[in-house]
Amino acid sequence: MIQNNCGSITPAILRSFIPHLRPRVRSVSLGLSYSLTDDDVFAFLNELPELTSVELQYYLQLKIPAPTLSLPHIGSFTAKYAQPHTRDEANHFCVWVRRAISSSHRLRILRLIGDHVKSNPSVSFDGLISHMTARHFRTLRVLDLGTAFIGGDAFKQLCATCTILEDLTAGVGWPTAVIRDHILCLLSVCRRSDSDPVSWISAQGATRLQCPAFIPFLLTSRMSNVAKST
């Protein structure tokens, strides 16, 4: 585990860890180092094929083609990142995440930890949702996007496809409040004040969804009861 500011970690130092970590290490956490490119970090991780948990710090790089991780056993992937201010920046980040997790056959947990506190509806992560619903729908149980925004169509696709999803955190727009013919059918919304949470009750009456009452707001839900009853 090498976290926070890792500026002193060079590619050569990172490679020197490999003989000491392989084959017994199953989890790696690596903080920010501008001395390390994606090529360096991904090449290092690819030397540890038994990894099941990875946490990385992302920073924007424009190398083409971007490297790809080959870690089929990853069950949990966490990425920390700075808030993207443009669609291009968000798309670069989503592509980076996809290249990091695409080889996994058993991804259960994906967490994206941004440094921003509110959703930005002009910068969406819909491209990443398309990947999750196409590639990881059979295994995904926890999707924590923090305040990253996803559109209504992407949200509906996620609910319809990832049928074993248990925990979901994401920024969504207010029109997404009504969803028919999907895992969630939201019957009522009780909005008390800007400081109080919105309380959503599922069609099955067993699951409450709590989210801050701003537009777009943060959706945090436990979906296991809903999924099991459909």
To the question of pTM greater than 0.95 for the whole model, the response is no
* pLDDT on residue 74: 96
Q: Check if CATH label 3.80.10 holds for domain 2-177+215-229.
A: yes
54 or 199, which is more confident = 54
* pLDDT on residue 155: 83
Strands lying side by side in the sheet with 76-81: 2-5, 27-32, 53-57, 76-81, 109-114, 142-149, 167-172, 217-222, 208-212, 197-201, 188-190
HSE, side-chain direction, 13 A CA sphere, residue 31: 9
| Domain spans in the chain, listed from the N-terminal domain onward | 2-177+215-229
The 10s digit of each residue's pLDDT in 8-26 is 788 999 999 899 888 789 9
The 10s digit of each residue's pLDDT in 132-185 is 999 999 999 999 998 888 888 888 888 888 888 888 888 876 555 444 333 343
Task: Report the distance separating Cα 47 and Cα 70, nearest Å.
Answer: 9
Mean pLDDT throughout 61-84?
A: 89
Task: Report the distance separating Cα 85 and Cα 52, nearest Å.
Answer: 31
Overall size of the chain counted in residues: 230
